Structure 1
């Protein structure tokens, strides 16, 4: 199994595989996890009640950090989308408005895990250095 170095990069990959393609299962839902753990069923209320507004809910972080993604699934990723409205972000931080750097990708070391990545849409969120890193690997940065 692949080991990611940047959780935020992994989350973008999870978005593609779990929420867009439906190939990474089961589909994670923060409200389901909270219910299972007896923590209520309203992610917004949980976030506010536990001073987690504009932060990643620890239970979601733990889940996604531990989530294993096979090399075979990673090889199917040809395109990623960077956008503040990704579902995976809402599942991680139910009270988040996309106006800070909470989910910023810091490094592109994990590109090596995606041998067939050809395009990143919304790459302006990465900044010039990381966009140059994509280009150096032959990835189209839109």
Structure 2
């Protein structure tokens, strides 16, 4: 039996990654911080960039990172602390997922705002113009929920 009062399941991994960026790499309240290079070194991969290139993984989220972030449970009390989110191609969480990603594709585009209910105190979304491009109607959805946007 899953207790949804203690943690929440996200439907859009890319939206979850925005929340992880805020809590794990920004606020540092979601710990320990995931470090892909350390994770892969523990699995015998010393040169992560060479591994990525040798296996043609430049434009994908590595399976190890995807599995970690999909399984990561974020307590509802911690989700309630999220008042701001930002979409920015330079997020640390993206480098932990795809270490040689160049930001030139839609790998981390948010596909759904169905997870907004998981961050009940969200008041500001930075990168609204990019979000609207990824998800037409997103700005209207945010506005209807009282969430301001900054481009």
TM-score (norm 2): 0.91
Residue in structure 2 matching 1:134, options 125, 135, 142: 142
**1:18 aligns with one of 14, 24, 27:** 24
> What runs of 5+ residues in structure 1 fail to find an aligned partner?
none
Aligned to 1:119: 124
CA deviation profile, 1:60-103 (whole Å, cap 9, x unmatched): 00000000000000000000111000000011001111111000
Runs of 4+ with >2 A deviation: none
| Contact 1:32–1:41 (CA under 8 A) maintained in structure 2 | no
| Alignment-derived partner of residue 97 in structure 2 | 92
* Alpha-carbon distance in 2 for matches of 1:41, 1:102: 25
Structural RMSD (CA):
0.9
Query: In structure 2, how many angstroms separate the alpha carbons of the residues matched to 1:132 and 1:58?
Result: 34
Q: Which residue of structure 2 lines up, in the alignment, with residue 46 of structure 1?
A: 51
Instruction: Please give the per-residue CA displacement for 1:26-78, whole angstroms capped at 9, x wherever unaligned.
Output: 1001001101112x133211211111011111100000000000000000000
Q: Normalising by structure 1, what TM-score? A: 0.96
Q: How many residues align?
A: 141
Where does the alignment leave 5 or more consecutive residues of structure 2 unmatched?
Answer: 1-6
